[in-house]
A and B are shown apart, each in its own frame.
Chain A
């Protein structure tokens, strides 16, 4: 009657007690099951994390078990961007363009400390976390993460995909950055988080 809260449309519930229509939830399940188990990764490997990523894709850890054996080296056929390694500022417009070339729905995994936060490279040349240039779904910690860590991140992403609804139009819309700054995070927050802390405050010291 307008007083009841609008049901949450972002995620789907497959529980029998949920009041959702049986057909739509089954259809959601089918589509999500297909999507989650055939995520084609776009590997963006720039550093040592890419070596672990290759190990994950090779026979011992075998990414093919999760439907990801097909590395898509063209962004136009890719579903998930796996950024493995540090991203220098010179690569920032390139990874942004690759992300924009990927069709919706798309996801992003930030693999390793450098891609997620800049890691130990708190210097003039390295982007402090790729979430400042592209939206990220899953962060995988580690320096570099072991293949099990990456697979855990991929399983988390698959879980996220399984909970999506077809009715959610955001899946088909491009998430646009802030038009003024062209960033996904407000510049003031980037500056605040970029402040040195702990021992690293001494590193900004210039020559006398």
Chain B
């Protein structure tokens, strides 16, 4: 990651400076794939499983072990330059045989390209994929949200904990198909647990400015915070 911010104007790497045209009458399946899909298949023949074009957008399925490598190449290679991670999410099907998919939405501003990278995790296996936090810092909260809603662990994430639900939330992962719409507990129990949470105890030490002055804190407080204690508790 470069230290300096670089200004990238959209389409600056393209040869023609013509204004982009919104595509119309796209077919559901088929069409012209993103140039990155082919390049990716040539560069990582073992990692790319298949690719398809749906409504004009290219989906590339890769193996979960190769995520870090593929993503770093997509960002750093001068012919790709996917400098903008717009979303990380997951998809679970109602069909229990279907694997859970983790989806990354990448955008290359310089080339005006959009690429959807997917990886599939089998239902029975451990829900874990490598984190891309080291590649795009934007992944921080997206991976936390994906963990919060689906229970997918992103290995390598520095601070993987719930972000939308409170940290003591015990009912599970709300967007999973086996999660009832109203939650698992009764309404009164949900209220009791919600009221028992401390609204100020949701910041970790890293999120607070206290982290900058950590060395200046009293020993006793430094030990407590170092053990992972949250403020306000």
Q: Does A128 make an interface contact (CB < 8 A)?
A: yes
Q: Does A190 make an interface contact (CB < 8 A)?
A: yes
| Residue among B96, B180, B186, B191 having the largest count of chain A Cβ atoms under 10 Å | B191
- Contact A123 B195, beta carbon cutoff 8 Å: no
Point out the residues of chain B lying under 8 angstroms from A96, CB to CB: 195
Which residues in window 80-106 of A have CB below 8 A to B? 89-90, 92-94, 96-97
Q: Give the number of chain A interface residues (Cβ < 8 Å).
A: 31
Q: Give chain A nearest CB distance to B178 CB in angstroms.
A: 5
| Residue among A124, A127, A194 having the largest count of chain B Cβ atoms under 10 Å | A124
Point out the residues of chain A lying under 8 angstroms from B174, CB to CB: 124-125
Point out the residues of chain B lying under 8 angstroms from A127, CB to CB: 191, 194
Q: Give chain A nearest CB distance to B90 CB in angstroms.
A: 15
Given A123-B182, A124-B182, A89:B192 Cβ within 8 A: no
- Contact A122 B194, beta carbon cutoff 8 Å: no
Q: Give chain A nearest CB distance to B125 CB in angstroms.
A: 18
Bound complex: CA of A193 vs CA of B191, how far in Å?
Answer: 14
Partner of B188, one of A123, A187, A205: A187
Given A127-B191, A133-B191, A182-B192, A194:B186 Cβ within 8 A: yes
Bound complex: CA of A94 vs CA of B194, how far in Å?
Answer: 10
Given A93-B199, A133-B191, A206:B178 Cβ within 8 A: yes
Bound complex: CA of A190 vs CA of B96, how far in Å?
Answer: 34
* Interface contact tally, CB-CB below 8 A: 86
Which residues in window 166-197 of A have CB below 8 A to B? 181-183, 187-188, 190-191, 193-194, 196
Point out the residues of chain A lying under 8 angstroms from B195, CB to CB: 92-93, 96, 133, 182-183
- Contact A196 B182, beta carbon cutoff 8 Å: yes
**Dominant secondary structure of chain B at its interface with chain A:** loop
Given A96-B195, A123-B181, A204-B182, A128:B187 Cβ within 8 A: yes
Q: Does B183 make an interface contact (CB < 8 A)?
A: yes
Point out the residues of chain A lying under 8 angstroms from B186, CB to CB: 187, 191, 194
27 contacts between A and B (CB under 8 A): A89-B166, A89-B191, A90-B166, A92-B195, A93-B194, A93-B198, A93-B199, A122-B181, A122-B182, A124-B174, A124-B180, A124-B183, A132-B187, A133-B191, A181-B192, A182-B196, A183-B192, A187-B186, A187-B191, A188-B188, A190-B188, A191-B188, A203-B181, A203-B182, A204-B181, A206-B180, A207-B177
Give the interface of B toward A (CB within 8 A): 94, 96, 164-166, 171, 174, 177-183, 186-192, 194-199
Give the interface of A toward B (CB within 8 A): 89-90, 92-94, 96-97, 122-125, 127-128, 132-133, 181-183, 187-188, 190-191, 193-194, 196, 203-208
8 shortest interchain CB distances as A-B pairs: A187-B188, A124-B183, A194-B187, A89-B194, A207-B177, A92-B194, A190-B188, A93-B199
